[in-house]
Amino acid sequence: MIMDLKDNKRIYTYSETFKFALEGIRVSILKEKNIRFHLLFSVIVIVLAIIFNLTQTEWLFILIAIAGMIVVEMINTAIERVVDLVTDQYHPLAGQAKDIAAGAVLIYAIFSVIIGMIIFIPKILMFL
């Protein structure tokens, strides 16, 4: 880390920035049960994808659904943390910020489930 004397702001190296990002991933896994649930569910979906021998395109959709779900959940968690940091009082805007972030998670989850159904239901039916 070096100091930018002009505006007295810290400047971090790329490796330090990378470590912060890894710490964010570590903290969110340790502290957020929703993220642990998404990770567990992701492993189950990946195992199913291997078993059903998905095509390249199907894999791409599944990976986008999995990564997007975890990323949206992490952003939701970050928004919750910032709201709680800014106020511990009831405030309609604080509530709206959390509700909107939760709504984003819900929308992504619904579309991820639809993607999963489109890909896996025909394969499960053929298997039966």
Whose Cβ is closer to ligand ATP: residue 26's or residue 36's?
36
Q: Does 27 bind ligand ATP (CB under 6 A)?
A: no
Q: How many CB atoms lie within 10 A of CB 10?
A: 9
Q: Does 29 bind ligand ATP (CB under 6 A)?
A: no
Phi, psi of 3 (to 5 degrees): -105, 135
Whose Cβ is closer to ligand ATP: residue 24's or residue 95's?
95
Q: Does 94 bind ligand ATP (CB under 6 A)?
A: yes
Which value, in Å, is the radius of gyration of the alpha carbons in the chain? 19
Is 58 assigned a ligand-binding role in the annotation?
A: no
* 23 annotated active-site: no
Phi, psi of 11 (to 5 degrees): -115, 125
Q: Which residues are catalytic, by number?
A: 73
Annotated binding site for a divalent metal cation: 32, 80
